[in-house]
Structure 1
């Protein structure tokens, strides 16, 4: 292990880009974990055990971040100095704002009507939209268009929240 300060891509010896070979990530994670797993340091001194725990935690955090496309995009933007500003930047293109309102109304209508089929159809639609937007996000990130990519990330965060809400509504109606 080089330095605990390495970025997540460096930690796993992967190129710092959005398009990621998940099999290579999985293999790299297993390699790092095999080197730093606390069980390997059971007989070591307290300082070595503590360092092993820090490395293992860092590897877990890095793996979790890089495995999730939305977290990976946010992390990649942060490495480039571009803050997604999800908490305080809600500015989005008007077409997406209109789409948000439509999705919200459809969720309310379907939930109010206890229509699980309509909720599932909307969830499928959102997943399709999400796939298309991730493809666009990959092109933006790998092309170095950080500000448009940050907006795309914020839009995907919204889509993910709506999908989670729909999932909760479906579960509520099915129970």
Structure 2
């Protein structure tokens, strides 16, 4: 399913999130299962399915990472359930350094955690800009590798958040 078509949006990485939200709310009202309460069982089931598709499409297009994956899937590069690992030695070294840095952080070291957040945000922003350029150039394989890198960065952010929650 093409999520861009669902919202009648051009197939592009750059999405106006306010416009997306407005379209989502209109579709949500139009497709809501309560509007089909008097219909047949088939109509009710279809309304529930369309609402689920709507929610899935909205969540996908709202997230830059999921949107990029969806865009690549539309271009024939399916990253769902893949087992491919990065072959970029520089990034693999950076991953190890990040792992060591996070492991060395103490739970109460808010200055260290804050510094890690800032460095992570800067590196994530660089990768995000790189991804935008690669998608625009339709360099799908490199874009897929950049998505893999961004997934690591997002996972690392969740780990830093978990340190704060302890």
Which string of whole-angstrom CA distances, capped at 9 and with x for unpartnered residues, describes residues 99-125 of structure 1? Answer: 1111111111113x7422201210121
Distance 1:41 1:85, change over 3 A: closer
Matched, 1:124 2:118: yes
Residue of structure 1 in register with 2:40 after alignment: 45
Residue of structure 2 in register with 1:171 after alignment: 165
Residue of structure 2 in register with 1:135 after alignment: 129
What is the CA–CA distance in structure 2 between the aligned matches of 1:46 and 1:87, rounded to whole Å? 37
Residue of structure 2 in register with 1:7 after alignment: 2
What is the CA–CA distance in structure 2 between the aligned matches of 1:48 and 1:86, rounded to whole Å? 32
Distance 1:133 1:86, change over 3 A: farther
Distance 1:86 1:145, change over 3 A: farther
Which string of whole-angstrom CA distances, capped at 9 and with x for unpartnered residues, describes residues 125-155 of structure 1? Answer: 1122112211110111122110000000000
Matched, 1:154 2:158: no
Residue of structure 1 in register with 2:75 after alignment: 80
Distance 1:86 1:109, change over 3 A: farther
Residue of structure 2 in register with 1:54 after alignment: 49
Segments of structure 1 that go 5 or more residues without pairing to the other structure are 1-5
CA offset at residue 35 of structure 1? 1.3
Segments of structure 2 that go 5 or more residues without pairing to the other structure are none
State the superposition RMSD in angstroms: 1.5
TM-score between both structures, scaled by the size of structure 1: 0.89
TM-score between both structures, scaled by the size of structure 2: 0.93
What is the CA–CA distance in structure 1 between the aligned matches of 2:57 and 2:18, rounded to whole Å? 15
The number of equivalent residue pairs is: 166
